[in-house]
Structure 1
Amino acid sequence: TSGTFHTSIVGRFENERARLGPNFTEKDRQWRIKFLKAQDLHPSEPFDVPELRKVHYNPIRRFYRYPLNLLEDFLTPKLGRFHATLVRKTIGNGLILYYFALFGWYQLNYNQTSWEYNKGFFTSASREAVFPGDPRYPWKDPKTESWQYYDRDFHKRKVFLDAEKI
């Protein structure tokens, strides 16, 4: 605000209760009617000023926004500004969501953590709950040896196979 306080253009009668009081004169009513009419926009407003894109967005952002800007400009006469912007944002956010899903799928499938390095995602499956009365009760744990817990694929190694003999 550069050291100055902002001023409300609505005036002192923004609150409906203040307009019902005795201080709300006929002059204030006329001013409020004129103010509310001034808030109605012309159908062509807000104006699209292409130079503002150059001011608001740096060249990199203008580059990656260009394809969806073309789509939005193409759809605006057919659907209207609101729906064209809605389509643009839906497609853009959908692509971002799709790329994040692909990234997560790739990381979970091809970049799992192992005993060789400590990066990637560690996934583990919880044991299924088996209660009395279930035909599988008492459920035997398939992990019978101590090395099977938190193995991180050490048993699949191709090196140091003779290390146990040393």
Structure 2
Amino acid sequence: MAQTAGVKPMTIAGRVASERERCIGMTDAERAWRKQWLQDQVLASNEPVHVEEYWRERTNPIRRLYRKPLDVLYNKLAPVLGQQRAADYRYIAGKIGLFTVGVLCIHYYFKYHGNDWTKKGGWRITKTKPMVLPGQPGFPFKSERSKDSDYADRGFSKSVFTK
């Protein structure tokens, strides 16, 4: 959904937002309004204000749960390193954590759910024949498979049934 929920955004600066309009001429009321508008653009020293209850109402419990460990780390590092550097470390630690979980999930899948003779599904990993040209060591290429029954084996020859 768009940030304005489908309604065209409207500027609150009014007609005097552009310099050309201000040069044409402004009334005293417009000058006072513009002066107040410029003063309102200056942030106070304590802004932006983080209101915990507002943040809690706007975020769902699952998001708060998975963000909690890094929030604790951020809150411990912020007084020591500063707000921005602690936020950078929190961001980097989160990305490294997601990358690590992804690598571990891929490793688990290929270790325990690969394609072999016991199941129909799973990704089959095959090695292609290496390119060995005349004059290179190992020419002519000889396969590691010793007999014809080794070609569509899919791990069956290593099972307990063939012993």
What TM-score results when the alignment is normalised by the length of structure 1? 0.70
- Residues 34-113 of structure 1: pairs in structure 2 closer than 5 A: 38-113=40-115
Identity %: 31
Q: Is structure 2 residue 117 aligned with structure 1 residue 148?
A: no
Aligned counterparts of 1:125 and 1:13: Cα–Cα separation in 2: 70
Q: Is structure 2 residue 119 aligned with structure 1 residue 117?
A: yes
* Pairs aligned (count): 153
Deviation at 1:49, TM superposition (A): 0.9
Deviation at 1:103, TM superposition (A): 1.7
Residues 6-56 of structure 1 show CA distances to partners (whole Å, capped at 9, x for unaligned) of: 213566798xxx75xxx353368x888986775453443211111123112
Q: Would you tell me which structure has more helix in proportion to its own residues?
A: 2
Residues 109-149 of structure 1 show CA distances to partners (whole Å, capped at 9, x for unaligned) of: 33321111123332222222111211322222333544333
* Residues 71, 2 of structure 1: alpha-carbon distance in 2 compared, 3 angstrom cutoff: closer
Q: Which amino acid aligns with 1:107?
A: Y
Q: Which amino acid aligns with 1:6?
A: P
* Residues 39, 80 of structure 1: alpha-carbon distance in 2 compared, 3 angstrom cutoff: farther
Aligned counterparts of 2:149 and 2:16: Cα–Cα separation in 1: 76
Give the unaligned 5+ runs of structure 1.
162-166
Deviation at 1:69, TM superposition (A): 1.4
* Residues 63, 104 of structure 1: alpha-carbon distance in 2 compared, 3 angstrom cutoff: same
* Contact kept? 2:16, 2:22, Cα under 8 Å: no
Give the unaligned 5+ runs of structure 2.
none
* Contact kept? 1:53, 1:62, Cα under 8 Å: no
* Residues 36, 102 of structure 1: alpha-carbon distance in 2 compared, 3 angstrom cutoff: farther
* Contact kept? 2:117, 2:153, Cα under 8 Å: yes
Q: Which amino acid aligns with 2:58?
A: H
RMSD of aligned Cα (Å): 3.3
Q: Which amino acid aligns with 1:56?
A: R
Secondary structure of 1:92 counterpart: helix
* Contact kept? 2:117, 2:155, Cα under 8 Å: yes
